Amino acid sequence: MIRILEQLPNTYFVLYILLALTLVTHGVLVWKNVSIAKPFRFLVWGLFCTAIGVHLLHFFWRWSINEHAPIQSKHEVFAATALTTTIFSGLLYVGQKPWKMRGASALAGSVVFGLLIGVGSVAWTVAALHQDPKIQNLVPALQSYWFAPHVSSYMLGYGSLLIASFLALFYVIVESVCRFRGIRWTAGPIVERWTYRVTSMGFPFMTAALCMGALWADDSWGEYWFWDAKETWALISWAFFVVYLHLRYVPGWAGLKGQLVVISGGVMIWITYLWIHVLPASQASNHVYN
């Protein structure tokens, strides 16, 4: 039984690949107005639910073995990010109903969701599979009641805001090509609206994580803020999305310009999330534990 549970990451990895391909296929069927498009949608739903269910089973199994939230090692963090990416992609899919679109918009919408699963769920799972899956004890510095809510909030915030940055990148690429070729991209406003809604969902989690981190720092080290590398880049990432959420209501910033701000915010998250530990300044950070 344990060996089966240990193989679950490989299982949901395959399911995520199938889901991405099925999403794109469904868009093609709707675009071509093929009669099986409607029942084919149930296959998409089935893969969404099955993939998330298998991933949650693995997540809570590791939690029961760890006796703490499995969000400490790189393997666990990358796997948790894949899970949050899939959940937010599913919520967006439910909310925006791309299967109700017609023509090229239906194809574009399904391709977007296929890419989200591909660059989010699949890519993060690949990253997790290339890390040591060994279950580790929680280091003393992380043995706090703040650990699970703080890190979980960042997982939810970063996972959703990275989705927003992927959407923004897709928008900028297609919109730029269409402008260059003098083509009107009818699905552009739809993708732009999705970017805004995902950002609106993820930003509160990122804000909560930032606040809880300050409270945890005061509880552990006696100060709310140290301006070390990790904290500074986390604040910079947060600030980019604050700017975007405000600029979107300024005339002229709701389209291409606003999406560029979201992409910049996504780059800041990548630096905070993955690259900060390779910078010389990070070696003196209070957030480096190994």
- What are the tens digits of pLDDT across the range 198-212? 999 899 999 999 999
Of the candidate ranges 63-67, 69-73, 159-163, 286-290, the one whose mean pLDDT is the lowest:
286-290
Cα separations (Å) of 14 from 21, 35, 270?
11, 27, 25
Is residue 126 included in any domain, yes or no?
yes
Do residues 174 and 276 both lie within one domain? yes
Is residue 143 included in any domain, yes or no?
no
- pLDDT tens-place string over residues 87-123: 988 888 888 787 777 777 778 888 888 888 988 899 9
Do residues 163 and 77 both lie within one domain? no
Do residues 128 and 198 both lie within one domain? no
Is residue 186 included in any domain, yes or no?
yes
Give the count of alpha carbons within 13 A of 171, CB side only: 27
DSSP state at residue 138? P
Higher pLDDT, 160 or 99: 160
Local confidence band at 6 (pLDDT 50, 70, 90 cut-offs): confident
Do residues 63 and 172 both lie within one domain? no
pTM of the model: 0.84
Do residues 98 and 178 both lie within one domain? no
Is residue 113 included in any domain, yes or no?
yes
Is residue 144 included in any domain, yes or no?
no
Higher pLDDT, 243 or 32: 243
Phi, psi of 66 (to 5 degrees): -70, -35
Do residues 86 and 20 both lie within one domain? yes
Do residues 209 and 86 both lie within one domain? no
290 lies in which domain range? 159-290
**Which residue, of 67, 100, 134, is where some domain finishes?**
134
Percent of all residues in the chain with a pLDDT value above 70, rounded to a whole number: 92
Contact indicator for 68, 110 with CB cutoff of 8 Å? no
Is residue 235 included in any domain, yes or no?
yes
**Which residue, of 134, 151, 170, is where some domain finishes?**
134
| Tally of domains within the chain | 2
